[in-house]
Structure 1
Amino acid sequence: MLVIEQSLRTFTQDIFKAMGCSEEHAALAADVLLLSDLRGIDSHGVARLTGYVRLWEKQRINPTPNIRIVHETPTTATIDGDAGLGLVVAPFAMKVAIAKAEQYGSGWVSIRNSNHFGIAGYHALMAVEKDMIGFAMTNASPLVAPTFSNERMLGTNPMCYAFPAGKYPPVIVDMATSAAANGKLEIAQRAGKPIPEGWIQDKEGNYTTDPHALKNGGSLLTLGSDRDHGSHKGFGLSATVDILSAVLSGANYGPWVPPFVSFLEPPADPVGTGIGHFLGAMRVDGFRPVDEFKAHLDNWVSRFKSASQIDPNQKVIIPGEPEHEAHIDRLKNGIPLVDAVVKDLNQLAAKMGVSPL
């Protein structure tokens, strides 16, 4: 089913308002989810709406949070999200980081007591709009086993770096630090398809292509899949995200992170509050004139796009390029939703008393 962007936006806002969110927060939360769908990151878009409602029903999401700074210096801050939607808390925090960067050259914010914040790219791109380099990362549901373990200890813990260019779209490195994001398993589950080997292991630590293996005690693998292919590097990147997002802010970390997935319950012995994020903004002109940087980043992009190809039918892909192309196409032609997602959303609409898609 193809859905026009504005129709899906209105539907999403209505769901958030039915949860008790203000008009402003509902519009912002919908904007974060819609950007994910527009950029082709279907795992983090409106397909996640049922998850937010489920957490709200369990009183784990506060629809009217008092988001506040609890500690700060001229260039840093710690923010308490008051259990609000991460879709709202993280943009608030990025505005703080940007304001500090505008005055001092860079701004860094660690956040606690939040929830799932959508795609990291949304928040990093807020800095790009101000001719800054944006950083965004978050910890997440403990679904990932560290190297040499079969115990779920870490989240998919995404990190994003976004750089403003000139004639080209921003260069955006937005990735999970696991071999695959949990949302990709959900896509495979809805499609009834197996997943590639190397994404997940069963509870004994053996590779499996079953997208349902997590629910049976399995665990996602870190980026690299095994030690021979660099899983210790993925573990290190994931650990970095967890420490900056949570150990630094006072959020829960590692296996104590309250889960977004429905088949896990929050630990009874939390070590912090909520989940954590880490956001940052750096002014480009703190290093060189913006126009010079953009001209040279354009040159960087041009040179990499012209790199010698192994297969003439497979071009070299610049980070963020596929998502930019999807954005253009989906704004024009609509956002594709699989039948299972449409069914879930319309059931949600009936439950929340809003108009169906």
Structure 2
Amino acid sequence: MTKVVSAEALTADCTKILRAAGSHEDEARRVAENLVLANLSGHDSHGVGMLPRYVDSILEGGLQPNAHAKVNVDAASLIAMDGQRGYGQIVGEEAMVLGMQRAKQTGSCILTLANAHHLGRIGHFAEMAVAQGFVSIHFVNVLSRPVVAAWNGADGRYGTNPCCIGIPLKGRDPFVLDFATSRVAQGKMRVAHNEGRKVDAGLLIDEHGRPTIDPGVVVVPQTNGLFGALMPFGEHKGFGLAVACELLGGALTGGGTWHVPANTKRAVFNGMLTILIDPQKLGTREKFESDALAFVDWLRQSPPAPGTEGVMVAGEPERIAREERRRSGIAVDDTTWGEIAASARKVGIQQLAAPH
């Protein structure tokens, strides 16, 4: 069963929980809005279903409410920052604001952010950049229980390690490519498990390394407390990109890579390498703008494949979902709502607003 909740009601409840968990009002509201925006964008994996994990991480001492990004190195167009285990939605935005200010001055900025708690939907940071006319490239690693198998491996060895690219298109909605380097996001398996659904073949292996369609293998402990794993997308190519995300988002930023046995801690820490480019300063802006539009128009002229709605570019599905979900509400399955209510009780809130 599912409940349909308005974005406003969901934001209010999440804000209430985050405040009770220790956040100041502004932080609680911004994190809540970011989570709900992920739901609105069609990415329930990164939405309010993450809230129970955030509360657990705070109670364990991992996530630090009201922490801010600290600048460790400031060398013109090269900036290194430490998120100090604060909310990724907060320290990530702080890092992006500084990086964009610098790119506006120098034409580009290479920005590293280490030790951020879960950054959420990386596309949000690309959307910040393209709104200011910048191209942005993001490589992210995930320090949490390893849930993705190496190509030709039979157990989880690293995280979903997202990669994201944002490109502004003059007079149009931007190109925002945001994807996990696993075949599917871990959060989508949590959603499927909570909804009692099986998933497509080829996405998962169980705790013995065998193919399975049961999303529970990466959500709840299986035989002897072991978990299954997600598969990398694109076989060896996606695996190679995932490794690059680990090395760039983890090792290069100073946040670290995953190379220890799994534990049961609920914290999720990210490192992110961001590259920002100002086409104006590069001297190619006019050519860039005209050629980018020409190529997108060329793509759209392709006749739709049978049974499809035709060619879409990255970012379109999210914008369509936002329009629809703002109008009709956000569906939250009963299991996820129960987990959110339980997290509220952990921080002293006995009653949430009734879903409607």
Residue 291 (structure 1) shift? 5.9
In the other structure, the counterpart of 2:132 is 130
Tell me which residue corresponds to 1:228.
none
1:356 maps onto 2:355 in alignment: no
Cα distance change on mapping 1:4 and 1:83 into 2, 3 Å = same
Q: Distance in 1 between matches of 2:334 and 2:298?
A: 41
State the alpha-carbon separation in 2 of the partners of residues 241 and 43 from structure 1: 20
Distance 2:19 2:260 in 1: 30
User: 2:32 corresponds to which residue?
Assistant: 30
**C-alpha separation in 1, matches of 2:330 and 2:166:** 24
Q: Kindly state the Cα deviation for residue 116 of structure 1 after the two structures are TM-superposed.
A: 0.9
Superposition CA RMSD, Å:
2.3
Matched with 2:188 is 184
Mind listing any 5+ residue stretches in structure 1 that lack a counterpart?
A: 225-230, 268-272
Asked whether the equivalents of residues 93 and 279 of structure 1 are also in contact (C-alpha less than 8 Å), the reply is no
What SS does the aligned partner of 2:243 have?
helix
Matched, 1:221 2:234: no
Q: Which residue in the other structure is 1:3 paired with?
A: 5
Q: Is the 8 A contact 1:121 1:136 kept in 2?
A: no
Q: Which runs of 5+ in 2 are unaligned?
A: none
Question: What amino acid sits opposite 2:20 in the alignment?
Answer: A
Structure 1 partner of 2:115: 113
Does 1:326 find its partner at 2:321? yes
SS at match of 1:278: strand
Alignment CA distance shift 1:167-1:211 (3 Å)? same
Q: How many residues in Structure 1 have an aligned counterpart in Structure 2?
A: 342
Aligned-residue offset at 1:97 = 1.3
Aligned partners of 2:57 and 2:266 also within 8 Å: no
Counterparts of 2:308 and 2:127 in 1: how far apart (Å)?
30
Equivalent residue letter for 1:126: M
1:350 and 1:356 in contact (8 A); partners too: no
Q: CA deviation at 1:37?
A: 0.9
Distance 2:274 2:33 in 1: 18
Using the alignment, how far apart are the partners of 1:23 and 1:256 within structure 2?
37
User: SS state of the match for residue 337, structure 1?
Assistant: strand
Larger mean Cα displacement after TM superposition, 317-326 or 133-142:
133-142
Correspondences of 1:268-307 after superposition (within 5 Å): 274-288=269-283, 290=285, 293-307=288-302
Deviation at 1:266, TM superposition (A): 8.2
**Change in CA separation of 1:233 and 1:130 when aligned onto 2, cut-off 3 Å:** same
Deviates more, 1:332-341 or 1:43-52: 332-341
Structure 1 partner of 2:74: 72
Note the alpha carbon deviations across 1:312-332, whole angstroms, 9 max, x for none: 643122111111101111222
Question: Counterpart of 2:165?
Answer: 161
> How many angstroms apart in 2 are the aligned matches of 1:168 and 1:266?
40
Q: Distance in 2 between matches of 1:194 and 1:312?
A: 23
Counterpart residue type for residue 284 of structure 1: P
Which residue identity does 1:102 align to in structure 2?
A: K
Paired amino acid for 1:341: T
SS at match of 1:113: strand
Mapped partners of 1:3, 1:298: distance in 2: 38
**1:309 has 2:304 as partner:** yes
Deviation of 1:356 (Å) = 0.8
* CA shift for structure 1 position 347: 2.8
Which amino acid in structure 1 is aligned with residue 229 of structure 2?
A: S
Q: Deviation per CA, 1:189-212, whole angstroms, max 9, x where unpaired?
A: 012111111111123322111112
Identity of aligned residues (%): 28
Is 1:250 the counterpart of 2:254 in the alignment? yes
Residue type matched to 2:136 in 1? G
Contact conserved, 1:94 with 1:280, CA < 8 A, in 2?
A: no
SS of match in other structure, 1:179: coil
Whole-Å Cα distance in 1 between the matches of residues 330 and 266 of structure 2? 33
